[in-house]
Amino acid sequence: MVKAMLSAVVPAYNEEIMVPRAARVIGQVLRDAEIDYEIVFVNDGSKDGTWEQIEAESRENPAVRGVCFSRNFGKEAAIMAGLAAAKGDCVVVLDCDLQHPPEKIVEMYRLWQQGYEVVEGQKSSRGKESAAHAWAARSFYSIISAAVGFDMSKASDFKLLDRKAVNVLLNMRESNAFFRALSSWIGFRTAVVPFDVQEREAGVSKWSTKALVKYAVSNITSFSTLPMQLITLLGVVVFVVSCVLGGIALVQKFTGRALGGFTTVILILLFSSSVIMISLGIIGYYIARIYEEIKGRPRYIVAKECGAEKQEEPCGEAEKVL
């Protein structure tokens, strides 16, 4: 049986309370299972003492390392930075708030030893959430599922990847990478480990409604052209409605029952104008995304690191991956 090092990548944003707890719990689980490991915390531009806590943990435990961004670049960038920094033969990604149960890592690792190259943590339940949040999540995953061609409704960022899969992801140069979908899209031999989303042990969720909407729009447009296809559908709908109303107007004209006034004309103009403006907005958003890609800026900028073999000079993501 293969015994190799596992890297645990833990993105953290304003998690100064949870960093020591996460390092202790993850480390204990892996030591008990006799798994050689490292924990890579990625500080995503936190405004509290998250980085100081990561530095403290790295001094106490040589298996803990840290990467600190120059500013907040987002969770997707933090995950990719962790994958780039990880040195293990396999890499697991999990949240710092421990809503992804660390004890499941052992089960994932055993499946990897059996030859699986991607082990996906699949949500058996979503935990406690409002009805509005649950509806929004279902809508988001319905769109993503349609885009990628497989069910994403129970998908999560809680995944274990073989080094081969990690390297494939790192070689994808798109700046707006959606890890949750891309890690499934790349294929490879895949296994599933079900888990229940745990309650946050301390602190509060950093996901506001505005942040969730921005996250959804960004990832849908980065991974799918479905919104562009909806423009075509809207165009067909407008054409059909116009044909129907035009036919009715002609019949009324030739039968002498045409009504005076511009109510119908005004409604048609308002409807068609709204469709045009929405369509232009969607097209404009995609053009903006293309502009962001062709500028070639790095996904993130690393300001400093801590732990074993830290780098002294700040460097961009492109320098570390290529």
Cα–Cα distance between 56 and 50 in angstroms, integer?
10
Q: Using an 8 Å Cβ cutoff, are 18 and 11 in contact?
A: no
Alpha carbon distances (Å) from 52 to 47, 105, 200: 11, 26, 21
Residue 314 has pLDDT above 90, yes or no: no
Q: Does domain 6-208+298-321 have CATH number 3.10.110.10?
A: no
> Where is average pLDDT lowest: 12-16, 131-135, 168-172, 248-252?
131-135
Pick the residue with more confidence: 69 or 272?
A: 69
User: Which pLDDT band, with edges at 50, 70 and 90, does 36 fall under?
Assistant: very high
Cα–Cα distance between 50 and 43 in angstroms, integer?
7
Neighbours of 307 (CB within 10 A): 22
Beta-bridge partner residues of 196:
125
Q: What is the mean pLDDT of residues 167-185?
A: 79
Q: What is the mean pLDDT of residues 289-295?
A: 70
Instruction: Return the SS3 of 77.
Output: helix
Alpha carbon distances (Å) from 106 to 109, 116, 120, 125, 218: 5, 14, 13, 20, 33
Q: Where are the domains of the chain?
A: 6-208+298-321, 226-294
Cα–Cα distance between 87 and 25 in angstroms, integer?
21
List pLDDT tens digits, range 210-264: 555 666 666 666 666 666 666 777 777 777 777 776 677 667 666 766 555 555 6
Instruction: Return the SS3 of 157.
Output: coil
Most confident of 55-64, 130-139, 143-152: 55-64
Residues 6+ apart with CB under 8 A from 7: 37, 38, 39, 40, 82, 86, 87, 88, 90, 91, 92
Q: What is the mean pLDDT of residues 24-52?
A: 91
CB burial class (10 A; 0-12, 13-18, 19+) of residue 254?
exposed
Cα–Cα distance between 102 and 35 in angstroms, integer?
13
List pLDDT tens digits, range 134-145: 666 666 666 666
User: What is the full DSSP assignment across 158-201?
Assistant: -EEEEHHHHHHHHT---SS--HHHHHHHT--SEEEEEEEPPPPS
Residue 315 has pLDDT above 60, yes or no: no
Residue 38 has pLDDT above 90, yes or no: yes
With CA atoms as reference, report the closest residue to 196 among 126, 134, 135. Answer: 126
**pTM score:** 0.68
List pLDDT tens digits, range 112-121: 999 899 998 8
Residue 68 has pLDDT above 90, yes or no: yes
Residue 91 has pLDDT above 90, yes or no: yes
